[in-house]
Structure 1
Amino acid sequence: MILTHRALIVLAAAGSALLMVGAFGFQHIGGMPPCKLCLWQRYPHVAAIVIGLVAFALPRASLALAGAVAALTTTGIAFYHTGVERAWWAGPSSCSSTSPAGVSTDALFDQIMAAPVIRCDEVPWEMFGLSMASWNMLASLGLAVVWLAAAWRIRKQA
């Protein structure tokens, strides 16, 4: 069965949407808040979903290539995160935050100390020896291939 370029676009965008549903499920149902790198992996998926909506209405090879870039971006971030989890390299040294206006130093310190620390180098869940970041890396790489196939089909039709 040969999929049309629109079917490939839907498949790729839906794949990103399902990965986002999974991420929110782990966060809100599974009680596993995301670390900084987990959050970074979400942004390209959101971009891919938006690109998919536009590309479905206006099928352009350039839009499908943009979807592939989004998928490859999250693949790269997930690869970096996997490396941090496996201690192949160091992760981000700190998270950025701003001090709310009108809060005393002591009150701010108490808020910081009460907040849970979500570490990027700890694996809260794994399946078959792969963490969520590793699974995201593999799935996103597959989605990039689907986006590239859509771009190829669109170009072939032109």
Structure 2
Amino acid sequence: MSIFGAQPRKVLALVCAACVAMLAFGLYLQHVVGLEPCPMCIVQRYALILLAVFALVGALLPGNGGRKTFATLGLLAAGFGAFVAARQSFLQWYPPEFASCGRDFYGMIETFPLQRAIPMIFKGSGDCTAIDWTFLGGSIANWSFVCFVVLGLVLLAVLLGRPQRVRRVGDR
């Protein structure tokens, strides 16, 4: 048995479903509530999409080897998403003295070469330091960090779990 007595395939499918639910909630906040995502929020969405895709592919693969490979890729995506969320949380707690509402994410990517745009994204703009929504005292970035860490721990448990033995007819 693997973690929580569940099969790794089912756990990966649940990770994918959790990512889809988080993405849907982000779109709800954007399109219904009216919150505009900052550059770091968009990068976190991309990390969630990657994590969902890796978990889905891992759940659909028949063997343990491929499943573990995609769980590892998902763990890397979760780690990257947690890093970006932690950086945004840090910027919210300790905003820079001179925060400007610079270019949006797509404007940075279109205007600057990638090697200049990526550091600009992680500096955070004035938008990244703003806290427009909270739940139980935590901002979106705080909760995003918690979710990435939890999903990463679940994937780590899948990776560290014992491979399941294939049962044959007549085995007890």
Same-fold call, TM cutoff 0.5 = yes
Matching of residues 68-107 of structure 1 within 5 Å: 68-87=75-94, 94-95=102-103, 96=108, 98=110
Number of aligned residue pairs? 140
Taking structure 1 as reference, are residues 91 and 157 closer, same or farther at Cα in structure 2, changes over 3 Å only?
Answer: farther
TM-fit CA distance, 1:7: 1.4
Residue 48 of structure 2, aligned match among 45, 49, 72: 45
Residue 135 of structure 2, aligned match among 127, 134, 141: 127
- The answer as to whether partners of 1:6 and 1:150 remain within 8 angstroms in 2 is no
3-state DSSP of counterpart to 1:156 = coil
Residue in structure 1 matched with residue 73 of structure 2 by the alignment: 66
Residue in structure 2 matched with residue 9 of structure 1 by the alignment: 12
Unaligned runs of 5+ in 2: 112-124, 166-172
Taking structure 1 as reference, are residues 92 and 77 closer, same or farther at Cα in structure 2, changes over 3 Å only?
Answer: farther
TM-fit CA distance, 1:151: 1.9
Which amino acid in 2 is paired with 1:17? V
The one-character-per-residue Cα deviations of 1:63-109 (angstroms, maximum 9, x if unpaired) are: 1111111111111100000011111668987432657xxxxxxxxxx
The one-character-per-residue Cα deviations of 1:89-136 (angstroms, maximum 9, x if unpaired) are: 68987432657xxxxxxxxxxxxxxxxx97111100011221000000
TM-score normalized by structure 1? 0.78
Taking structure 1 as reference, are residues 13 and 142 closer, same or farther at Cα in structure 2, changes over 3 Å only?
Answer: same
Matching of residues 102-113 of structure 1 within 5 Å: none
Residue in structure 2 matched with residue 103 of structure 1 by the alignment: none
TM-score normalized by structure 2? 0.72
Unaligned runs of 5+ in 1: 100-116
3-state DSSP of counterpart to 2:34 = coil
3-state DSSP of counterpart to 1:124 = coil
Matching of residues 134-153 of structure 1 within 5 Å: 134-153=142-161
Aligned identity (percent) is 25
- The answer as to whether partners of 2:99 and 2:126 remain within 8 angstroms in 1 is no
TM-fit CA distance, 1:5: 0.4
- The answer as to whether partners of 2:86 and 2:145 remain within 8 angstroms in 1 is yes
3-state DSSP of counterpart to 2:33 = coil
